[in-house]
Structure 1
């Protein structure tokens, strides 16, 4: 057991308040996550990241959602925009090698943007597969409806991130694609049979099961546990994510604040931790809510501690890729898709 609590927390604004510094020093979250409300300028973000780490007295992991497409917290002119996963999927259908190269390039270039700010973990790539119609909440964020394609492109993006010194978090295990509702607003339910899920949705995660980190989905799979979303389902976590998919890395919940979960924030935190998730994620930066989470979340211990240490020890070093040449290459590849 350590003095570090099994949680990742956000903060309210672009700089820390004295109250936040005091709270983080006492609560000792394992890591932090940034959102648009925390971002003004490059220098300000670097200072915020440094202050967050100083508040806990160690180089805590700092996360962000920078997928490309619409899901990105850093925006121009601070950083370049990158294509959505669906556009990379379109390129892959034209030319598989070009698609894989583009996915890797996006990961490598995004990593350079993040590392320059001190951010060392990215909540990407997305491995969720929408229904064969290609519709649903995750459609634009997905690499497609074909298992091999999704695994190839997500794997390439993950390798690109690692080549740039940033650790990926695969998401949303065991698969949000059939959950057509937006889990930020309501609880999606999936009625597909277990055989169907095994032959499709689970497979990209199985292909990338050696990843160091994965994020859960707030989706009810009626064939697995009709009462609880995967994030709070011991059956989904133990039987499916750990045993069947074979993921033994650090398992992080999706955001506790999302409306897909029920109960007050403390109840949610306890349910997530009790189900077997290693790290509880709370994003909105509300100090009262974070205090309630901290009271319910355990210290890192046992396998969760070992997995968290594996993440810290595996911090990759950026390679010497010529970033401007890579950016030009990516633009040429994307011209193939748009032309």
Structure 2
């Protein structure tokens, strides 16, 4: 399992600045013991280096299975890139195939997830921030765009489910995002705070459905979006109403709830303030991606010890990750040949 020993981690996922931990990062991580690490392109030079960085992080925090996350969606959101890793297609590709042949689209998405999972598991990355379950609305900002799995809740739910299955069979936990839905946002939450004024009844019958259908997945990531029909004053990430009444009760998600990056401009206040708001709202974990020591110290200074409820969810998520591994002998080259043939047949 997670191997907490007698140490209780801090409820935070931090980034780091380079291809190995600096002395300042090591000192901070040994002191505050973050629950996990998130990786970006600047952290991923080659498989050997990346494996060593991940080992170094886990040795530093003292948790042998500390969570290591990445956004390896495919398309424009890809952190591990050629020549050392394959470039997966954007999720929108599977939606296009789905319109022509549902079974083939599901097979393609499954193979893609297995291929991604193999590369992540090879360097001991345990969590992938995939799939995007947001339902895009006509006229919404392109921040979701071709990252979306479809234009209707059925397509998104089916493709999202098969992506989760493929990752889990390789020993990688998926994260459903951005709960309870980012698809209606007219602005990019990296730059400003989106406001969605859709009625709660309509949200329940549309945006929430893919998340409800996949609420059994052990990880989810929040949306930095204000839903005026639910809480007109706070983004979902920092809203106890959205977290408790919508995410936990109406959608039924009971797993680890991770904030989106607190460095995004949709949120205001100091990094420490944001972290406090997130945990007080009911999120389990704070995500701080910058890798800047000053920002991480600001966050670490306000963090409580991880709650027992969160530790229990983390243990269940790790148990789920291990138990879903499938040793079926699927070879990377065989999967890649079949996958490439599907793309050739349906997209050329």
Provide the TM-score with structure 1 as the length reference.
Answer: 0.97
Q: By how many angstroms is 1:313 displaced?
A: 2.4
Of 310, 322, 345, the residue aligned with 1:336 is 345
In 2, distance between residues paired with 1:296 and 1:38?
27
What residue is the counterpart of 1:53 in the other structure?
Answer: 58
After TM superposition, give the deviation of residue 290 of structure 1 in Å. 0.6
Moved more, 254-263 or 315-324: 315-324
Matched with 2:3 is none
2:141 and 2:188 in contact (8 A); partners too: no
Aligned match of 1:118 = 124
Partner residue in 2 for 1:35: 40
1:64 is aligned, of 61, 70, 95, to 70
SS of 1:314's equivalent? helix
Q: Which residue of 2 aligns with 1:227?
A: 233
- In the TM superposition, residue 305 of structure 1 has moved relative to its aligned partner by 1.6
Structure 1: gaps of 5 or more residues = none
1:301 Cα deviation from its structure 2 partner: 1.6
Contact in 2 for aligned 1:134/1:145 (Cα 8 Å): no
C-alpha contact (below 8 Å) 2:140/2:184 kept by paired residues:
no
Query: How far did 1:327 drift?
Result: 0.8
Aligned pairs for 1:142-157 within 5 A: 142-157=148-163
CA contact (8 A) 1:136 1:179 kept: no
Unaligned stretches of 5+ residues in structure 2: 1-5
Where does 1:299-314 land on structure 2 (aligned, <5 Å)?
A: 299-314=305-320
For the aligned residues, what is the CA RMSD? 1.4
- Which region of structure 1 is more displaced relative to structure 2, 63-72 or 318-327? 318-327
Q: How far apart are the structure 2 equivalents of 1:21 and 1:136? A: 37
Counterpart Cα distance in 1 of 2:59 and 2:262: 25
**How far did residue 134 of structure 1 move?**
7.7
- Number of the residue aligned with 1:21: 26
Q: Secondary structure at the match of 2:312?
A: helix
**Rounded Cα–Cα distance in structure 2 between residues aligned with 1:78 and 1:65:** 16
In the alignment of these two chains, the number of paired residues is 339
* SS in structure 1 at match of 2:69: strand
- Alignment partner of 1:322 is 2:328: no
**TM-superposed deviation, 1:336:** 2.8
- 1:3-22 matches, cutoff 5 A: 3-22=8-27
Q: Distance in 2 between matches of 1:259 and 1:289?
A: 14
The answer to whether the Cα contact below 8 Å between 1:136 and 1:177 also exists between their aligned partners in 2 is: no
Contact 1:172 1:215 in 2 (8 A): yes
Contact 1:129 1:144 in 2 (8 A): yes
Aligned-residue offset at 1:34:
0.5
TM-score normalised by the chain length of structure 2: 0.95
Question: Could you report, residue by residue, the CA deviation over 1:138-172 in whole angstroms, capped at 9, with x for unpaired residues?
Answer: 12100112111000001001100011111101111
2:260 to 254, 261, 268: 254
